[in-house]
Structure formats: C-alpha cells, structure tokens
Amino acid sequence: MKVITLVENTEGNAHCPTEHGLSYYIETGTHRILFDAGADDLVVKNAEQLGVDLSAVDIAILSHGHYDHGGGLPAFLNINHTATVYVQKRAFGAYYSIHAEKNRYIGLPEELRDHNQLVLLEGDYTIDSSLSLVTIHSDSEPRPSANHYLKEKIGESFIPDSFDHEQCLVIQENGCRYLFSGCAHHGILNILNSFHELYHSEPDAVFSGFHMNQKEGYSDEDIQVIVDTAVKLSSTSTTFFTGHCTGIAPYEAMKKIMGDQLHYLHCGDSIILDSKKKGTSYMKLHKLFAWGTVVCFVLTMITGYKRK
C-alpha cells in the first residue's frame, strides 16, 4: 500500500507548496483513495506536481467537518466526476473557532451538502470487505485541550463541539489493518480504544494528527498529556505517522520517547507499507529509556516553546 501526503503544514523533500490542512492519497490493491482534501485547490496542484492522477480516485473520505480537511473538495470534484465521497451527515454543522473573542467559521462549504457524489452517513459504515468507516465510541481518555476553542453554533449560541462528525478509515489488506484519522479530536488514545473494541487488536499503522499544537504555548497540564500519550502509544505494537495539527514541539517531545515508532509526514512525502511483512518499510526499533531523564528533558524542551 502506498501513501502520499498531498497537503500538510510543513515542506518535505518534494518541495511542494504547503498550507494549514491535510490530505492523503492512498493506493491499495483495489482502490485509489483521497482521505481529506486540504483547505483549497492546493490538493489538485500538489497532486499534479507529484504525478498523482486524482481523476482515477474511486473513493474520497472526509474525516470531519472542518475547512482544512474539506475545503479542497470542490476542486477535487471539478476534476473527478465518478468518485463516491463519504462524510458524516453532522459534518455540515456550523463549526467555529472562538479565539480572542473572534468568531471564525471553520466549517465545510455549504454547497457541498447536496452534491450528487456525496454519501451522508450517520455512524459506522462498511464500504466493502477492505474498507470501513468507524466513529469513536470510547471517551475514557482526555480529549486534546486545543479543542477548547472549537465550537458549534446552534441558533445564536456557541456550544462545545462534540465531534460526532469525526470518522476514521480502516483499511484491511493482506492480513494487516491500517487506521487513518484527520485530527483525532476525540483523542488518539480514545480512537485506539474504539479500534480495539471493534477489532480486538491494535492497528499495524496509524496515520493521524494528534491535535496537540498550542499557538499560545503549553501549560503544565498540556505537557503532561503529551508525555503520557507518548508513553502509552509506545507501549503498543503500532507504528504512527503524524503531522498537521500535532505541532512540531509536541512531535519532537513524543519522538524522544517513541523513537522509530513515530514518524512525521511532511507535504509531498510518500511511503510504501509492506503488508506481507506485517509492518512498514520503516523498521521499528525497541529502545530502553531512563524515564525520569526523558520526562525531565521533554518538560524542559517544551517549556522552551512557551511564549514569554
């Protein structure tokens, strides 16, 4: 299976233009998939630069109802008139970012709702024997604190976004399962718990932002959540590929703990997952850490990113 990051916040070796957004192109043995579409038509431009034929995509999926994941969908639909697009019905809510008393609409283009290529879902859905869409049923672990600014407008009131419009893609191929998420607004640990409830196993690889980036610096509680999440993820047998809303500082902190179990995918990066080996082309290394030293280093490093 091949995965190409068409849109992401940071520049990779392919030197593609970047934006605040996310889009993966996925080739399996039977499908060509677009998972999220970035914020605007950059997804189409970068696909051309990377030699990806978006007109050949047969399935498109939106992870949730935010512009930086679905804003590029109109540009995609202008060149692809056959793909089926799966999105949760609740993704067309009125979603806002409330920050410094400014209300900024961050939802999907309203005109997409009635497009004839869209299939509006209400909950889990099986596309075929190799592709499933799952919603999050576990909430035992903390959600990202960065969700605090994200609201849904109901009438004249702004309420916390429940993220019941968030869905993940599970791909099953050659005995392996791969999980794709957008921002993991429910929390990556809750997503993994939901996966385990459904499949009674861990995914072989996960592609997801962790929504840990904080524009105004990191509190002690934020730092502890980053460290605890990395420790828990490192106890699994899963390889993680992240980017977008994770943030560079949290990624670097988690990398110190997780080592080669965690990788950052920049805009234009591509990887091939070797299903036959029950793993990826990245070799996972198991290391022993002196946890007290690691945690102290992580706390010191991330604190350095706080605004003074």
pLDDT above 90 for 29 = yes
Give the mean pLDDT of 106-129. Answer: 96
Asked whether the predicted pLDDT for residue 228 surpasses 80, the reply is yes
- Which three-class secondary structure state does DSSP give residue 87? strand
Residue in the structure block whose two tokens are 């209300």: 103
Cα(166)–Cα(184) distance, integer angstroms? 8
Instruction: Give the pLDDT band of residue 66 (cuts 50, 70, 90).
Output: very high
pLDDT band at 283 (very low <50, low <70, confident <90, very high): very low
Q: For all residues of the chain together, what is the average pLDDT? A: 90
Residues in contact with 249: Cβ distance below 8 Å, sequence separation at least 6, in sequence order: 213, 218, 301, 302, 305
Confidence band for 100, pLDDT divided at 50, 70 and 90: confident
pLDDT > 90 in the chain, percent:
81
What distance separates the 2 farthest-apart alpha carbons in the chain?
56
How confident is the model at residue 124, as a pLDDT? 97
What does the domain layout of the chain look like in residue ranges?
2-303
The mean pLDDT of 250-279, rounded to a whole number, is 89
pLDDT band at 304 (very low <50, low <70, confident <90, very high): low
Q: What is the mean pLDDT of residues 87-110?
A: 92
**pLDDT level of residue 101 (50, 70, 90 thresholds):** low
> What average pLDDT does range 150-176 have in this prediction?
96
Say which CATH topology domain 2-303 has. Answer: Metallo-beta-lactamase; Chain A (3.60.15)
Other beta carbons within 10 angstroms of residue 285's beta carbon come to: 8
Can you tell me the distance from the alpha carbon of 272 to that of 241, in angstroms, rounded to the nearest whole number?
Answer: 12
On whether the CB atoms of residues 82 and 54 are closer than 8 A, the answer is no
Tell me which residue has tokens 């791909």: 171
CA distance 178 to 14: 24
Instruction: Return the amino acid letter for 28.
Output: T
- List strands edge to edge, sheet with 102-105: 102-105, 95-99, 150-154, 157-160
Please state the rounded mean pLDDT for residues 84-100: 95
> Does residue 183 surpass a pLDDT of 70?
yes
Looking at residue 102, its pLDDT comes to 83
